[in-house]
Amino acid sequence: METKTQKNPQLDKVRDIIEDIRIAMMTTIDEQGNLVSRPMAAQQMDEDGTIWFFTQRSSPKVDQIDNNQHRVNLAFVSVSDASYVSVSGTADELDDRAKIDELWNPQAKAWFPKGKDDPDLILLKVHTDMAEYWNASDSTMVRFFQQATAAITGNPPKMGENEKVYN
């Protein structure tokens, strides 16, 4: 995913964590009030903390977003790095052919076989209102040792950074 230096410097840490993850679980609320999540390939995090996705205009998530004050959550996970990010924000659909051209890439063709000119292809832009991250700076072996020590001592392990960031 392409990421840009953030206007809000507090979001730079979030950007650093998610730039190599690419796939987010996007959660919306369906017609029955259920939380519904699906994997989405993030295309870009722009300088305003907005995260961009391709989707189909006819997708149920578009109606779910419109029916629930545009509120969504994005979850980014890198198990190997023990890095986790939760982004709360508002999503809007956008039919912007210039932005679609800017973000289009060969991987998108697999999900949108009619190409970037498909009239059903639109963008979802998720404005970050708040992000929370957990990021372990230690290696897997050190984290394992910390967990084992915690199990013996009864003191919870210190597994790295945890911070909430508001945009």
| Predicted local confidence at residue 141, as pLDDT | 45
**Structure token digits, residue 8:** 């809000």
Residue listed under structure tokens 């394992």: 144
What are the beta bridge partners of residue 50? Answer: 127
Query: How much is the pTM?
Result: 0.83
Would you say residue 120 has pLDDT above 80? yes
* Torsion angle (degrees, nearest 10) of CA 51, 57, 59, 61: 40
| Predicted local confidence at residue 82, as pLDDT | 86
In tens, the pLDDT along 51-97 reads 999 999 999 999 999 988 999 999 999 988 889 999 999 999 999 99
Work out the mean pLDDT of the chain and round it to a whole number.
88
The C-alpha atoms of residue 115 and residue 111 are separated, in whole angstroms, by 9
pLDDT band at 152 (very low <50, low <70, confident <90, very high): confident
Would you say residue 143 has pLDDT above 50? no
Q: Which amino acid belongs to residue 47?
A: E
Structural domains of the chain sorted by starting position, each given as residue range(s) with its CATH number in brackets:
2-166 (2.30.110.10)
Helix (H, G, I), strand (E, B) or coil at 89: strand
Would you say residue 116 has pLDDT above 50? yes
In tens, the pLDDT along 18-31 reads 998 989 999 999 99
Q: Are 7 and 62 in contact (CB under 8 A)?
A: no
Residue listed under structure tokens 């929370």: 132
Residue 19 exposed, middle or buried by CB count within 10 Å (0-12, 13-18, 19+): middle
